[in-house]
Amino acid sequence: MSITALIAVDVQADFLPGGLLAVPSGDLVVAPLQALAQRFPLVVATRDFHPAHHASFEAQGGPWPPHCVIGTPGARLHPAIDALAWLVISKGTDPAVDAYSGFDGTRLAEMLRAVGVHRLVIGGLATDYCVRATALAAQKEGFETAVVLDAIRAVDVHAGDGEQTLQEMRSAGISLQTLAEMAAEDTR
């Protein structure tokens, strides 16, 4: 039997509008992820979960303002995603090491294999960072990997980053589909 899991990447308060590192229109990924969870109820939520003086923060010489600090409201998953999650994967918990991928420094791949998952459907935030890294790692780990275009949003630090990331993922063999395309495929 083939099992598909849905990975909701970093749908956390700090990446949503009003957060410390908000992704433009980041909240628009929530409804598509909820729709996907109806079809793929095995939901894994990843979260950035950083100690207070994490290496990725500007004060430590990193590229980002402080975000998703353990114990702060900004680290919380969106409640709708939290309510769906079968498994929550914390990443970037080592003060000295950053992790964009949910597979980086975690046992996610082993846990998914242990329950028979062979296909991953991925959405969340942000296209050009943690969605990118998680999808590329999933593909590399041997999972059949799809990214849902309606369920992701980009940071676009440099204009076009999001678009370029889509090309990169496509070149890596990752399937990029809209919700509608995915629904059509599944009822075939």
Exposed/middle/buried for residue 135 (C-beta within 10 Å: 0-12, 13-18, 19+): buried
Catalytic site includes residue 130: yes
CA-to-CA dists, residue 174 to 50, 92, 104, 164, 177, angstroms: 29, 24, 18, 14, 10
Q: Which residues contact 188 (CB under 8 A, 6 or more apart)?
A: none
| Nearer CB in complex with Zn ion: 30/50 | 50
The span of 24-32, 43-51, 82-90, 107-115 binding Zn ion (CB under 5 A) equals 43-51
Show contacts with Zn ion in window 80-139 (CB under 5 A): 92
Encoded tokens for 133: 């890294």
Those residues with Cβ within 8 angstroms of residue 167's Cβ, 6 or more apart along the chain or in another chain: none
Applying CB under 5 A, the span of 5-13, 45-53, 82-90, 175-183 interacting with Zn ion comes to: 45-53
**Residue 46 C-beta: closest distance to Zn ion, Å:** 11
Query: Quick one: 38 or 61, whose CB is closer to Zn ion?
Result: 61
- Least distance CB 148 / Zn ion (angstroms): 22
Nearer to Zn ion, 92 or 102 (CB): 92
Q: Examine the residue annotation and report whether 156 is marked as an active-site residue of this protein.
A: no
Helices and strands of the chain, counted as H and E runs = 6, 6
Q: Each residue of 167-176: b (16+ CB within 10 Å) or e?
A: eebeeeebbb
d(CA 58, CA 127): 22
Give yes or no for residue 48 binding Zn ion (CB under 5 A): yes
Provide the residue count of the chain.
188
- State yes or no: is 140 an active-site residue: no
Stretch that binds Zn ion, among 42-50, 74-82, 152-160, 163-171 (CB under 5 A): 42-50
32 or 92: whose CB is closer to Zn ion?
Answer: 92
Q: How far is the CB of 105 from Zn ion (least distance, A)?
A: 13
Task: From the candidates 27, 91, 128, 150, give the one annotated as an active-site residue.
Answer: 91
Please give the positions annotated as active site. Answer: 10, 91, 130
Per CB under 5 A, residues contacting Zn ion are 48, 92
